[in-house]
Amino acid sequence: MATSLSVVPVHDADEHHTAGVGADAVSLTGVRRSFGTSVAVDRMDLHVRPGELYALLGPNGAGKTTTLRMIAGLLRPDTGTIRIFGIDALADPIAAKRITAWLPDEPMLYDKLTPLEYLELVAGLWRVPQAHAERQAAELIDILDLGPHRHQRCEGFSRGMKQKVALAGALIHDPKLIMLDEPLTGIDAAIARQVKELLTARVRAGATIILTTHILEVAERLADRIGIVHRGRLAVEGTLAELKDAAGRGSSTLEDVFLALTHESAVADPALEPAA
């Protein structure tokens, strides 16, 4: 089974930590992506600041995953530009991938490997220096409570356990930008707490995180800013307080705000409504 990472070797540690100083962490301008006659992402403009946790919300089929896959370099947009810490991700995808991590909604591992073997493999593919890789692996295994399972094959793990191993693999090379698609879906409360604590710690350490989630409480508690995608476009974004003000629902839950804003964006732009 294929690994969940887009792996590109890191050749220069200094470049890895200084690329695009002062730039947006992520900048999308006029990005469009279609599949046949279906437009998945339409004229997307998105700007994520360095060191923030940005939650990208939207109904099923809104274009969230397609957007993240384009940022990760797994899909190429039809039109538009994508920059990651100032790097043109379309003109120089290798440089962009060196400082990013992508974790899809379905954890994909080499099931015959143990967690420790998997982390060693991924660190080697990224050319992380061995001593640093060993420290990173030990820290991630400890934080995610994988120690008792470090020498067990992944094939027998639950979805939540596999998600933790995949997350550790995504973080082994100290990425500046971390993208996660539904990282908490289908995992129990104890594992979800470990994942949330790790993501919060990474942001405090200076990483930038973009995540999609249908668990609105996660966005409410963790996100610095929230963007709502509807029909392939960024309908609205801001802090939770700003979104509540925009919806005229100051004391409402994020769920109420989400439903109100997605409805209003469709009414404001008939092109966002489904075809009759």
Domains belonging to the chain, first-starting first, are 1-99+177-185+210-276 (3.40.50.300)
8 Å CB contact between 233 and 58:
no
DSSP for 75-106? Answer: S--SEEEEEETTEETTT-HHHHHHTEEEE-SS
Q: What is d(CA 163, CA 83) in angstroms, rounded to the nearest whole number?
A: 28
pLDDT digits over 57-96, tens only? Answer: 999 899 999 999 999 999 999 999 999 999 999 999 999 9
Average pLDDT, the chain: 86
pLDDT band at residue 10, thresholds of 50, 70 and 90?
very low
Q: What is the pLDDT of residues 186-213, one digit of tens each?
A: 788 888 888 899 999 999 999 999 999 9
* pLDDT top residue among 229 and 263: 229
